[in-house]
Structure 1
Amino acid sequence: MPSYTSSEMREWLGGVRDLAAAVNAGTPLPELLNLIAETACALTGYEASGVLLVDEERHRLYISGSAGLSVEYVAEVNERRTITVDSGPLSGGPSTWAFRSGEPVIVPDILADPSFAPWAWLAENYGYRAMAAVPLLVDRTPVGTLNCYRTSVHDFGPDEVALLWTLANQAGTALQSSRLISSLTEQRRLLEQSEDIHRELTEVVLRAGGVQGVAEALARLQQRPVLVTDAAGLAAANAPYGGVQLAPEVVDPEQLPDGIGEVPEGNRVTVPVSLGGEVVARLWLPGLLAEMSELDRRALEHGAVVCALEFLRQRTATDVEWSLRSDLLADFLTGTNVDALSARAASLGHDLSRAHTVIVAASDGDGGPGRTRSLLSTVRAVAALCQPRPMVTSTGGDVLMLWPEAPRADSPAQAAERIRNAVGRLVGAPTVTVVVGHRCERLADARAEMGIARAALELARLHGVDRVVTLPDLGVYGLLLQLNDPHELVRFSDRTLSA
């Protein structure tokens, strides 16, 4: 999906605001469910949507709110082809799997998917051809699914699924809030204040305040400092309060709660910020969960939703930018003349006239596209903090860099160590080996040096992993990789004779 424009961001936040306003107004549950379905269609552009809720016995799912679905379709599913979640011939559909697994289930083509067979003729009769089922969670417990339908075959992309997750999370919050309102008068007052909180957070986003602005607004609302860390545990935003500022701490991943909760022995409350089921960041506040009011918790939940949208917007924009940068280095390595690339490079902040050092990194162990993408993302995050900007791309499982020489820039060895350490902070990530190759006065020399560095990486990993290696570290093996360079032979001879 394309990067968010200001109007699109306003539309999304407006839809979420309308749900919160409906909850605060005491909207009856059937109307609230219809509003959730209508909001899903309005924000995604899909032709139909339904909210399915599990019955009290937790045996069946019923379409309890809808938009775009015909009355006849809803009646047929609910009365004669009722979806079951435990057993039976109608318990193998996508809604059941989303409910039971807690993960989205995508059906790009209803007529080609065997799991949808019991309802396929019905869907075809009413013009529905593709669908996505996303679980609705209340207190991390599934209560139903949010289903979205297309009238043509459609492959839901990862960004679309991430947005549906965000909407489903907000819908789950709205359902939970609605239940509380129906039983507690005081809760209504708190939720009305929660709308004010959401409005303040929304205004931060519309002012382009970013994640830092959200953290500062939460700090004012909570009257305590707020820290936002990214997936690597590094500070993405930090808002002090009363002269106190939090610092990131190393926490055992097994101690991190799935939802809002405390970290044992840390005297900190944390809230995950999720995109498409992936925790991309965390909010941190000092104190104990028991000390926080229901309104405080609502504010943190709203803050996590708004932060998720900000991280998605940043991620989309960053992906576009780095795609352009990656194409630049890829074109150079495939033989494009340096002079022909100079104008493009300058527009992206690269100075091709500088000396550059070749750096190559790869995940240790059995690699794969997922690991390469994760490593590439980490390298980009490190490179984004450097000026002038390094050039980065990936090929064949390796991440390739041309590190520019500059008075205030990290040395290549420092950059390589920063990359290795950054990967080490990622939860569940494999270790990484990094090779620092030669310094190239002329960029045209970097093509051959890149091949040498990649060969050195393979050689280095035969003798140890999770380290930074230079060509001299490989001794005579490193020399053999450079037999076409007489200057390197002389340097090796001098080092050996002077030892």
Structure 2
Amino acid sequence: MTGNVASHEASLNSTRVNRYWTPAGRPTDRGWVDALTTVSKAVNGGATERQVGDIIARSCATLGDVDRVAVAVDAGEGDILRVVGAYGLTADYIEHLNSDRPLHFRNRPDDSYGPSVRGFRSGRSVVVHDTHTDPAFAPWRGLAEAEGYRSLLAVPIVASGAPLGVLICYCDEPGQAKRARTDLIESLANHAGVVLEGYQLRRNQESAIAELQAALTTLDQNRKLHAHMIELVLRGARPEEVLAVLGKALDLEVRFETVDRAAAADALRVSVAGADIGWLVTDRPLTAHEHIALEFAGLVIALDHQRRASIYEAETRHKLDLLTDILAAADGSVDCDELLDRCLRSGFEMAPPHRVLVIAPDRPAFGAARRLERLAARLVPEARPHALTSYRQDVAVVLVPSAPAYDRYLEQLHVAATREIGGVSFSAVLGAECHRLGDYAPAYRTALAALRLRQRSGSVSAAARLEELGTLQFLLSGPPDELIAFSRRLLDPVREHSAELLPTLRAYLNNHQRAGATARELNVHPNTITNRMERISKVTGGSIEDTGHLLDLKLAILVADVVTA
């Protein structure tokens, strides 16, 4: 505030007597010029809205020959006048006008407005000659008596052709408002309109500048935050670390969730190539600049996800190439020394003994093999040598080192697959130990055949080692021609007699020769099972009740399955 404003306020404060401002002397010949000069200097000197309003009110009182003045302007909502300056009025009266009974005109009939509102809305001066006798002023008569005025003049403040506020002049004597120097008051109101409009424009400019400065500061902070997050990603930081930095900078908690949070107002979708990969969820609503920072964090996480996916795809293809070459080593088409060296450069020591582990879903499940391979890689112990994980068609294949760290790897993988990949069960077989590259192909074929046989026979959702499979482990290496001929002699008549007999025989043997359980599995009547088993006995030339013949049938089916596998 300038020196003129300060001296003007000091002069006004020196005459305060239980009022906001008290009356001063009447204007001199230079009073009009001095008043306009003081108001203009106050605005240009950076005075507050209240200081400018008080100066206008005092000038109006001294120039217009009135006792009290209030300066009220539109509060910006178009339906309330707010007192921004006063002279000669008590603080309680001003507080009453602004808070307890504001000068409002929201949803009210025209004839219910007071003189101040009528002057503001009509754009013309309104005079109340005597507050005691004017019937239109009856609602405010008690307020006038308490404040001590008997007449009133309301002069509109107009700027740029639109009402901006109103000068409310109060007089102690009835009829005094009519004798007031209305011409000077209206001229002052016009000047006040220009001044207040300029003040509001200046305040709006200052507010806009402050907002721009705040926006620039926010942009600079976001730029630094963005650079930090990018640096973290380039260093290989995980999304959790990026979100921790973001949360610390913005003082909020940010979580990355894979569940659908589309309905949540505090969640941001994170997508890669149009596919959702998750949601960023915060613990409170965000400001505009915080939302921008969160969007950038989502972009960073999406880029990191894409980077990791690309790395995973490259590693997966490389490991599949290694597995393919390892399984081809048995036929001599691969340079074993060069392959061992490639494996070692890729982090896999294949010279020590390994076992072949195969795991697959018990029924078709799209993408299950890739998910199994990723899970198998995640469960690989830190100890060296590392297991080589890959997949072929619908089967995940793991070359498991024969080391103590992997003693429980088969069971751990099977349990994790069942727990984490829902909707389907899994079967797994750990095959024979391989001491050289040429051993892997037959070990893989044997383990895979054992897996398929167990799934076909109903032994699903289980993990087994090859040495636990009894007679089957010997047959899987290749049954003798005599056993194959024996199986065909016994089962070909069954196949030729009727298509349903061989499946019935399989189910009957799997259900421990119980006709009721077999009937439930095949969804037929138990008598049907009994009838079919009698027909099988007839075409095979032996009784199903004979233990020896029953053993022959089991062996024949086992050999047929091995040959098929």
TM-score tier after normalising by the smaller chain length: 0.3 to 0.5
Q: Which has the higher relative contact order, 1 or 2, with Cα contacts under 8 A spaced 6 or more apart? A: 1
Judging by fraction of residues, say which structure has more helix. Answer: 2
TM-score by length of 1: 0.45
Higher Cα radius of gyration: 2
Q: Which has the higher strand share?
A: 1
TM-score of the aligned structures, taking structure 2 as reference length: 0.40
